[in-house]
């Protein structure tokens, strides 16, 4: 890497990883006509596991044109997936003014200003839940809208009661619509000792894990969510295996690391709500887990944004999948928040997947197709595809470089990884792969595990 490029990387990384933690006082969601913004269910992660098409082209192309889908068709699939989700759960979910799924009649209030809750109760609102985000030193209150008032109108009314407050819808986020979930009894766990300061620790916000799977049976896992109940999910199990999985023929990036796994789905097929994701972030902050992977995507949300900022200010690193809605799709979150390490996906020939999102939110790309991950059912491993499976690889690599939350060390870890990245035909950061492709050595091909 040239000196000029190192300087450029340092400047960009400093800007990305040093967000000011100032609550968006008086900032309101922008109400615009419904847009076909997706929640990450439009392309390959919607099927989660799939075999790669035969006859891969033997050429070193930066972009993978094979089986590419036109942006318009991807947008159509996004719109259909959202409509299907809303139709199936119309008793619980509805669309916000931009067409994004939200929990019906619920509003989030970040650290309510003095007097707001009393004024809200007087106006007909009720407190559904009061949540203490101890790891972030804030509180979060979930209000239920008054009877006979729409969720949108209730949000506007709440803004008038507290113009300086931070309130938003309770948006829904998802990693994969077809990840089958099954409730299980928690398997017997081996005895573990308290983590030493030098032990690698890594966090995961996703669905539950199948800890009886051979790849995870010996993993050192701390679980959060679902009132202590173990609810295994295909998506969470696959992502976790890429981080800490280990058998004789399969291994994740950091098999010796302690995994702190937060289940924000608990078996529900409605997706993960913003308040639960914020709670999971607070738990990981309290546990001082330095690197956290979030293979979930969805719309911008002020509660989620402030939780992300609080984590970054404390020196944590967050990796997140940029989504699989295509190159023309609007940014998805949390990957698009400043300071988050947005991860795209590449195939075995170092080509960016055509369905992966593009833009300034992409910081790295990593293997995301032609590789195996743990699966539920008769076949213990299946071929996976999508940015959801690339993000945990980057998280594992960064966890090796960052053992404790520390903002300066986090910037240095990303700078080091950027210098290792592969940039076929490019010398600077690109909208397709950011600083380049990393982690190719951690791709477990179908021929390697049997």
Tens of pLDDT, residues 182-206: 334 333 333 333 444 468 999 999 9
Whether residue 396 is contained in a domain is answered as yes
Whether 270 is in a domain gets the answer yes
In a domain, 35, yes or no: no
Strands of the sheet with 201-206, listed across from one edge: 220-224, 258-263, 201-206, 291-294, 317-321, 341-346, 362-367
Give me the domain span that covers residue 282: 181-442
- With cut-offs at 50, 70 and 90, classify the pLDDT of residue 80: confident
Q: Is there a domain that residue 421 lies in?
A: yes
Q: Could you tell me if residue 8 is inside a domain?
A: no
Task: Write the CATH number for 386.
Answer: 3.40.50.200
122 within a domain of the structure (yes/no)? no
Q: How many domains are contained in the chain?
A: 1
pTM: 0.82
Average pLDDT over residues 254-272: 95
pLDDT at 73: 60
- The SS3 assignment for 96 reads coil
Q: Regarding predicted confidence, which is higher, 49 or 273? A: 273
Q: What is the pLDDT of residues 51-79, one digit of tens each?
A: 333 333 333 343 444 444 555 565 566 67
Q: Report the SS3 class of residue 39.
A: coil
CA separation for the pair 269, 27 (Å, rounded): 31
Q: Is position 190 within any domain? A: yes
Token output for 145: 């809208």
């Amino acid at each position: 890497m040239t000196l000029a490029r190192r300087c450029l990387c340092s400047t960009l990384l400093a800007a990305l990883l040093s967000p000011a933690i100032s609550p968006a006082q008086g900032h309101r969601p922008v109400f615009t006509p419904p847009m076909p913004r997706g929640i990450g269910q439009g392309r390959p992660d919607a099927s989660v596991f799939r075999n790669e098409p035969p006859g891969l082209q033997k050429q070193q192309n930066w972009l993978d044109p094979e089986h590419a889908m036109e942006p318009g068709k991807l947008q159509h699939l996004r719109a259909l997936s959202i409509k299907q989700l809303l139709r199936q759960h119309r008793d619980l979910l509805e669309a916000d003014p931009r067409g994004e799924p939200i929990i019906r009649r619920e509003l989030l209030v970040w650290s309510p200003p003095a007097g707001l809750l009393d004024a809200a109760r007087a106006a007909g609102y009720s407190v559904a839940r009061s949540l203490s985000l101890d790891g972030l030193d804030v509180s979060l209150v979930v209000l239920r809208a008054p009877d006979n008032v729409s969720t949108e109108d209730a949000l506007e009314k709440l803004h008038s009661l507290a113009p300086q407050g931070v309130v938003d819808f309770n948006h829904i986020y998802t990693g994969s619509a077809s990840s089958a979930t099954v409730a299980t009894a928690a398997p017997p766990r081996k005895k573990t000792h308290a983590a030493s300061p030098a032990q690698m620790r890594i966090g995961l916000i996703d669905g539950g894990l199948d800890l009886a799977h051979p790849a995870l049976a010996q993993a050192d896992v701390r679980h959060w969510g679902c009132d202590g109940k173990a609810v295994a999910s295909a998506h969470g199990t696959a992502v976790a295996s890429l981080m800490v999985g280990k058998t004789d023929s399969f291994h994740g990036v950091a098999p010796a690391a302690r995994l702190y796994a937060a289940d924000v789905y608990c078996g529900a097929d409605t997706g993960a709500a913003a308040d639960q994701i914020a709670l999971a972030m607070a738990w990981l902050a309290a546990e001082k887990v330095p690197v956290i992977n979030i293979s979930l995507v969805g719309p911008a949300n002020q509660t989620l944004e402030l939780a992300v900022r609080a984590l970054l200010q404390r020196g944590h690193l967050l990796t997140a999948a940029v989504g699989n809605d295509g190159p023309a799709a609007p940014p998805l979150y949390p990957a698009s928040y400043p300071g988050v390490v947005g991860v795209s996906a590449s195939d075995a020939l170092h080509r960016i997947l055509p369905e992966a999102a593009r833009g300034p939110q992409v910081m790295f790309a990593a293997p995301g197709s032609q590789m195996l991950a743990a699966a539920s059912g008769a076949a213990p491993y299946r071929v996976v595809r999508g940015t959801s499976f690339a993000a945990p690889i980057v998280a594992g690599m960064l966890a090796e470089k960052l053992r404790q939350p520390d903002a300066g060390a986090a910037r240095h870890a990303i700078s080091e990884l950027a210098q290792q990245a592969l940039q076929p035909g490019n010398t600077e950061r690109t909208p397709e792969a950011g600083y380049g492709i990393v982690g190719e050595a951690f791709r477990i091909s179908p021929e390697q595990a049997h």
